[in-house]
Amino acid sequence: ARVEKMFSVGGMHCASCSSRIEKVLSQLDGVDSAQVNLATEELRLSFDPQQVGVDEVVERVAGLGFSLQEQS
């Protein structure tokens, strides 16, 4: 089943930052779409939690130098 979650993104300073995050996440198996809004510092992620976990997503983005926090 597909789910959609919103995350707060820390550490972005330009549009290339948001593009990098979108590119890396969209290449992960199980991710349907990753849309980053630079202005609001938010990520909207649509994914299949049976194929990819939030922990893996957070780790990948941390590897790029950005932090993610799942919104409630």
Contact residues for ligand 9UX, defined by CB under 6 A: 13-14, 16-17, 65
**Residues near 8 by beta carbon (within 8 Å), at least 6 away in sequence:** 41, 42, 43, 68, 69, 71
| CB 18, min distance to ligand 9UX, A | 8
| CB 16, min distance to ligand 9UX, A | 3
| CB 57, min distance to ligand 9UX, A | 18
Q: How far apart are CA 21 and CA 23, in angstroms?
A: 5
Largest Cα–Cα separation, the chain: 34
Residue closer to ligand 9UX by CB (options 1, 39) is 39
